[in-house]
Amino acid sequence: MSAPKRGGKRHNLASTIKRRISSYPSGQPVQASANPTPVEHRQTDSTPTISQAVSAKLEDGNVRAALRILMLDDSPVIPSPQSLNAMLEKHPPSSAALTDLPAPDPQQCISVEEPEARQAVFSFSTGSAGGPHGLRPQHIHDLIMSCEAGTEFLGALTAFVNLVLAGRCPSDVAPVFFGGRLLALSEKSGGFRPIVVGITLRRLASKCANSFGINHLKAYFYPHQLGVGTPSGCEAAIHAARRYLESLSSDHVLVKLDFTNAFNSLHRREMLLSVYSKIPEEGPQQGDPVGPLLFSNTIHRTLSSLKSCLNL
C-alpha cells in the first residue's frame, strides 16, 4: 500500500493498487517506489503548491477546476482569532425562535427511483471532493458501474437516499451527516469567502431533492427569477436588461442590487415557512445543492411585490 510515484493517468493510485492486488496471490513481491526520499529530506510543508494542485485536478479529469486554480487570486485564510471572528460575523444569530413552526407531515416526503438516484450521482462534477469522510462522488460512480454488484448497490443507495429524504436520519448521526469540512478563502477585494464541503451522501440526497423542487417551482419563479429552473435564464436576463437600457426613457433609471452575505443573512424561520408553504416535502441545509432553490423560494414573494417595469 505504499504510495506510488505520481505520474499521471497511467500511474494513478487506483491502477497501481489494483495491479498489486492482482499479483498478490501469486506470491510475487511488489516493489515499492524506487529510491524513496529519505525521511530527513522529505518536504515538511503541507501546503500544496499551485502546480501540485493543478496536476491533481488534471489527473482527476477536472480541467475546469484546474483552470480555476490558475486564474483565481483567492488564497486560504491564515488561522487566527481575528479570522475566526470575521467568519462568525457572517453567520448572524437568529432573530426569532423556531419553536412555533408548523409540524411537518411525516406522510408527505420525497421519494426517488433508481434512475433518479443514478442521474444524481452522474451529475457531480469530475473530481468533486468527498468532504470529511473522504468518500468522493467518483467512488460511488465507480461502484454503480461495477458489473458484479452495480445493480444491487444502486438499489441499496436509492433506499438510503429515500431514508434521508424522509427525515429518518438518527439524531445522534445528524450533526455529522449534515456537517462538512469548513474552509475560508481571502478575496481579492477584501474579506473572506466561506466554503463548506459536505459529506457526499448528504449532497447526493440534496441533489435528488433539488430536482424535485425545481420541477415544482420553476413556473412559480418565472419570469422574475431566472437563475433556478430556467435554462440559460441568466443570459436571457442580461439581454433583456440591455434591451431595456437601449430604450430607457430619460425619467427612468435601472438599479442593480447586490446583498452582502445574502444567504447567511436570510432568516431561517422565513426559509422554513416558505418550504412549508410551497415544497413541504423538503427542508433546508446550508451549503448543499438545494440551497439556491430554497433561497429563491424565500425571497420570491418580495420580488413579486415590486412594481418596476423590469424585475429580474
pLDDT for residue 8: 55
pLDDT of residue 287: 59
State residue 54's pLDDT score: 82
Distance, C-alpha 25 to centroid of its chain? 41
Which residues lie below 8 Å from residue 116, measured CB to CB, with a gap of 6+? 208, 211
Q: How do the domains of the chain map onto residue ranges? A: 7-21+43-72, 73-304
What pLDDT score was predicted for residue 39? 42
pLDDT digits (tens, 9 = 90+) for 184-223: 888 777 778 888 889 999 999 999 999 999 999 999 999 9
Q: Which residues of the chain have pLDDT under 70?
A: 1-11, 25-49, 283-287
Q: What is the spatial distance between Cα 100 and Cα 106, in angstroms, rounded to a whole number?
A: 18
Cβ atoms of 19 and 39 within 8 Å: the answer is: no
pLDDT tens-place string over residues 24-64 = 766 555 555 545 444 444 444 444 567 887 888 888 778 88
- In whole angstroms, how far apart are CA 178 and each of 12, 112, 238, 286? 31, 20, 36, 9
Q: CB–CB of 122/114 below 8 Å?
A: no
Instruction: Return the closest-CA partner of residue 184 out of 172, 176, 192.
Output: 192
CA distance 44 to 269: 47
Cα 254 to chain centroid distance, Å, stands at 33
Nearest to 310 by CA among 262, 239, 216, 210: 239
Strand partners, 183: 195
Whole-number Å distance between alpha carbons of 162 and 209: 10
Burial class of residue 106, CB neighbours in 10 A (0-12, 13-18, 19+): exposed
pLDDT at 164: 93
